[in-house]
Amino acid sequence: MTSNQKPETRNEKLPRLAILVAGGSGSRMGADRPKQFLLLRGEPVLLHTLRRFAATALGVSDIVVVLPAEQLGTWQQLCEEFGVNIPHRLVAGGATRWASVKAGLAARARPVRAWERPVETTPPRAEPWQRENPGQGHRPLQA
């Protein structure tokens, strides 16, 4: 890349990846199921999210859905029930959000380069590390 070239120009040629980390339990909402499986306008919330990221305008070429291992079967059943035909990879997450994001990154076809940053689709929340280190953002990803 030359010094007068914008970073966006470089990134336009790279494949776009979406990692949908959906590990909620629904307990804070008082729900009887994980929030990603709650129905919104008659369909699971996760299906709405998946559809948005699969939209042609976004140019996402690879979608990875990360769920707790015990929820993989539920999502597969919902995909059958709702006729989901959007291509995506399904990956078991880890014990923490960080471990789940790492599992999603490991599922992609090529390694992450230092200047690429994964985008989380879940709103940021004050995790224990952030509460102990205010103003320092998210814990850095480790390889």
Query: Whole-model pTM?
Result: 0.67
* Location of structure tokens 């940053």: 117
Cβ atoms of 92 and 72 within 8 Å: the answer is yes
In a 3-state reduction of DSSP, which class is residue 18? Answer: strand
Is residue 52 classed exposed, middle or buried when 0-12, 13-18 and 19+ CB atoms within 10 A define those classes? middle
Residue 80 pLDDT: 93
Per residue of the chain (143 residues), what is the pLDDT tens digit?
555 555 555 555 678 889 999 987 778 888 888 899 999 999 999 999 999 999 998 989 889 999 999 999 999 999 999 999 999 989 999 999 899 999 998 887 555 454 444 444 444 444 444 444 444 444 444 33
* Location of structure tokens 């004050």: 126
Question: Residue 118 is encoded by which pair of tokens?
Answer: 């994964």
In a 3-state reduction of DSSP, which class is residue 23? Answer: coil
d(CA 20, CA 66) in angstroms, rounded, equals 6
